[in-house]
Amino acid sequence: MHRKLNVSICYNNCKRSLVRQHKVKFHKRSKEIQEDLKFDIKILESIGDVNNKNCFEQSVKEETIKENAFKMLKEFKQKMILEKDKEKEVDGMFPEEIAKQWYSWEQEWNRDKELRDKLIHQILNQRQKQIIEKLEKLKEQQQYIYERQRTLINDMQQARKYDIIEKQKQIKEREEIKQDSSRQISFLQQKQRQSQLELEKQDTFESEEKKSIHDFIEKVQTPITTTTVEPKFYGRRRVNWN
């Protein structure tokens, strides 16, 4: 009798220990599943937040990614609720029931994990392609901006060179005008001096001519004055009327 009692006690202890082991194992596995779900939910929420911030620039592909992400997010949150409910149910189950359900739960968890990984992988691939496309567009825009800047810089450099050439040309033209004006002034001054010399020569010549004429006249008039003859007056001859 005592031996049977010990066996019964040992059986009950083993049973309780097995129940605790199954429950601990289940709770541990369930927590792992819930952590995976939380991580996947955060990924989907971050994708949804990014798309919401860029809602004014969304394309058809981005809208599809957003819809798929929200759909999966809803399913994963529902799965999280089911896992928490399942934890509560396990606390009231017998060890035999837990042992029987464990294999099906494990298969369900594995299927769900594979499905979630596949869906998350698809979403992330789509998101990666979207990011790559945006980076390509950004690269094209940056290349366009760079080429535009280079064109503007070249235009500015050409304009600056043109301005320098024009300024040099203007300086050269002003210098040529200045030199030409100096030559003209010099020529006019020279002509003026020549004219002045001509006038002076003419005046000298005229003065000399006048002097020569005057001297000649004086020379001619001098003998006439020294041999002046008194004029003789004769009476009127009478006419004989007889």
What's the confidence (pLDDT) of residue 231? Answer: 52
Q: Does 181 fall in a domain? A: no
Q: Does 88 fall in a domain? A: yes
Q: Does 81 fall in a domain? A: yes
Q: What is the pLDDT of residues 168-206, one digit of tens each?
A: 888 988 888 988 888 888 888 888 888 888 888 888 888
Q: Does 57 fall in a domain? A: yes
81 is in which domain, residue-wise? 2-130
Q: Does 139 fall in a domain? A: no
Distances (CA, A) of 226 to 4, 212, 223, 230, 231: 206, 22, 5, 12, 15
User: What CA–CA distance (Å, rounded) separates 191 from 199?
Assistant: 12
Q: Number of structural domains, the chain? A: 1
pTM of the model: 0.46
Q: What is the pLDDT of residues 72-120, one digit of tens each?
A: 777 777 877 887 777 777 766 666 676 677 777 788 888 888 888 888 8
Please report where in the chains the tokens 């064109």 appear, as a residue: 151
User: What CA–CA distance (Å, rounded) separates 95 from 89?
Assistant: 12
Q: Does 199 fall in a domain? A: no
Q: Does 179 fall in a domain? A: no
pLDDT > 50? residue 56: no
Q: Does 228 fall in a domain? A: no
